[in-house]
Structure 1
């Protein structure tokens, strides 16, 4: 391996070449599996975000905060399924709830007792949600919420934000996508009131909704300014449009999500990820005046189907996890642990002379190697090669994280896990400080 404290003598490309060779040599079984899987799965997988070069790890098993790959390497998990594994892996409360539910049958084709329990738990936590409907992913939740806004207002235009992400068919990150039905969208810059007014100037009479992540997640963990969200709330009310908060990632940040922290009440909220307890899950909810348009007991109700909307596994695991594991008290403890991690990461980087900005909020932390502040995705300066460098170095130190530089703490991550990450990050900053400058 290149002398780690002498990378000023090597180019980033040289360091990456050696890291890749080391990774390939250390993970032959993952490499073989991905190659074999590529015969039947494009690229060897069925979820693009999990791909990284030279090839992604294949996980054999997981428990708590630990993962084990096919080659027998154990990692502390800081990706946590891109926020979906907030309860950690195989939490006994969730597992036992699943076992009990499965014993009584998997697919009823009828109502079950768990859906009402989970719905009541969600409505009790979110002041803005009077009623909720379930579906199968955050993508689906956002697609349906936007259609509901159009039905409720009789309008067709949607305002969204450049760099936002509302699911695989509503991705505004740039580059290629498989977006559906976005011809009615107009786009503004995040955290810019002036950009919002300019973007909708010609369509105000036909504006059905504004959809926004109170923290842009996939686009870099950029937190909305309270002033900006307040502006959106007032602007949407003034012009008769619905305000939709995408809290698919950020529901974990407080009892009632980021909207509780900001003190802003949207008309509709979309949810997903961890709320299914590890099962496929999506949800959308809001004011009764809008949600009751789906009330099948009313004449002219909007139909909303979905074979697995109330699937036993997601409903049972979701209720057990949300009511007994992801409690407001547990969320507060995790947020405090994350605050300590943020402080340590900043101190480590500054000591090594590495510029750093930490995006996100609470248990979601996005690392950017730059001194300049970030108010929108276009402000990000960290490049893909730097991301790859840090990612491969973390894997060498048995830390599993997302290549895009995001840490997603779970409730299973301990203080010892956090110390492990900080030590690994300190090693990387010390070794590669010249290569992490922007």
Structure 2
């Protein structure tokens, strides 16, 4: 979020537009890094939150709102038989991994090299703040090497966690056969498979595990499912989640002051039940596919080493001779290109992530994306000399 020479500071936002403190307006194609799926200040959600204010803020007890939202998530996402709420996607992933270690009695976890599952679960390089789980890394979309690594770790492996489409690392989809193979390989050694769907649960009515017909043991959620409020959740197999049942004498502890706060529960339920219905989710995924395909055609016609990857309403731009197939960290010399294009796009009133991430929100129309794509193509053409000099023809 910090962009040199200085980050823009947003003063207000509505729909798919934001306004900075200097009065400049931008079309928002960042979408709060996928948390802003509903756009800014959606009327149904803001009205529900206003009504909630009159009933009290936090109660320190179960609420009707959490029951409704929990039931709806279990209904929408086929791998989720039970659910626990928390406060962020990072927290959901830490709790899912800790649950897997407690359930299996094993210590080690496995991740994709270059993946990101939160501030303390970042595996692009060495993060000194990472949670101290014994960790093994596998390459993305390389089933043979991944299976060999799973078998080598064997009965020490508690869980493998993976995004079915890499998000922060460049919107890189996993091959369906790769995910299916991971399901088989983890089952063979008695390890759990965790799908991090903090971002990808927006894809279609039931997330990517539903789309692919796969059944991970645990699934994590966050971002938009809180309706724009802070939110996290993890769910999955009943025999695992039932260990949190407080009526059990050996129940696993899981406390959190704001786990079930009424604002997140209310906004999440209204968003999922009244706005992002299964029909809307399906149409939104198709819209994103359509937009990305048209952008890819325009980039191809430009004949520059620039590519777009992604699925549905999430996509990312990449400089390089070919599109990446694994989590992507641009070479040091490319950072100036990303900065140059990003700054020029901002002067045209277009806002997205400097690293190239583009996320649609529900208020974004095909016409708005067409304007964005047109500005991007013009900007890339203007910067073509710098692009060719840095990347090559």
Question: TM-score band (shorter)?
Answer: over 0.9
Deviations 1:315-369 (A, max 9, x none): 0011101111111222222223222321222222222221333222100011112
- Tell whether 2:197 aligns with 1:247: yes
- Tell whether 2:8 aligns with 1:51: no
Work out which of the residue numbers 213, 220, 228 in structure 1 matches 2:178. Answer: 228
Contact between 1:163 and 1:172, CA under 8 Å: does it hold in 2? yes
Contact between 2:38 and 2:227, CA under 8 Å: does it hold in 1? yes
- Tell whether 2:88 aligns with 1:88: no
Give the distance between the partners of 1:367 and 1:402, measured in 2 at CA: 10
Q: Provide the residue aligned with 1:372 in structure 2.
A: 322
After superposing the two structures, state which structure 1 stretch, 100-109 or 340-349, moved more.
340-349
Q: How many residues align?
A: 388
Shift of 1:374: 2.1
Give the distance between the partners of 1:435 and 1:199, measured in 2 at CA: 41
Give the distance between the partners of 2:236 and 2:303, measured in 1 at CA: 47
1:416 alignment partner, SS class = helix
Q: Pairwise mapping of residues 111-150 of structure 1 onto structure 2 (< 5 A)?
A: 111-150=62-101
Deviations 1:163-188 (A, max 9, x none): 11110000012254421123x11111
2:383 alignment partner, SS class = helix
Q: Provide the residue aligned with 1:281 in structure 2.
A: 231
Shift of 1:115: 0.2
Q: Provide the residue aligned with 2:156 in structure 1.
A: 206
Larger Rg: 1
TM-score, normalized by length of structure 2? 0.95
Deviations 1:379-423 (A, max 9, x none): 866821111111101101000110010110001111221122012
TM-score, normalized by length of structure 1? 0.86
Contact between 1:223 and 1:361, CA under 8 Å: does it hold in 2? yes
Deviations 1:167-225 (A, max 9, x none): 0000012254421123x111111111232234344421111111011011111111101
- Tell whether 2:209 aligns with 1:256: no
Runs of 4+ in 1 over 6 A off after TM superposition: none
Q: Provide the residue aligned with 1:19 in structure 2.
A: none
Work out which of the residue numbers 103, 107, 110 in structure 2 matches 1:156. Answer: 107
Work out which of the residue numbers 323, 329, 343 in structure 2 matches 1:392. Answer: 343
- Tell whether 2:138 aligns with 1:188: yes
Contact between 1:62 and 1:89, CA under 8 Å: does it hold in 2? yes
Q: Provide the residue aligned with 2:273 in structure 1.
A: 323
2:374 alignment partner, SS class = helix
2:195 alignment partner, SS class = strand
Contact between 2:147 and 2:182, CA under 8 Å: does it hold in 1? no
Q: Provide the residue aligned with 2:129 in structure 1.
A: 178
Give the distance between the partners of 1:435 and 1:176, measured in 2 at CA: 32
Contact between 2:108 and 2:159, CA under 8 Å: does it hold in 1? yes
Work out which of the residue numbers 57, 62, 78 in structure 2 matches 1:106. Answer: 57
Structure 2: segments with no counterpart, 5+ residues = none
Shift of 1:101: 1.0
Structural RMSD (CA): 1.5
Contact between 2:299 and 2:307, CA under 8 Å: does it hold in 1? no
After superposing the two structures, state which structure 1 stretch, 68-77 or 347-356, moved more.
347-356
Give the distance between the partners of 2:41 and 2:20, measured in 1 at CA: 16
Give the distance between the partners of 1:398 and 1:164, measured in 2 at CA: 31
1:350 alignment partner, SS class = helix
Deviations 1:27-74 (A, max 9, x none): xxxxxxxxxxxxxxxxxxxxxxx1111111000000000100000000
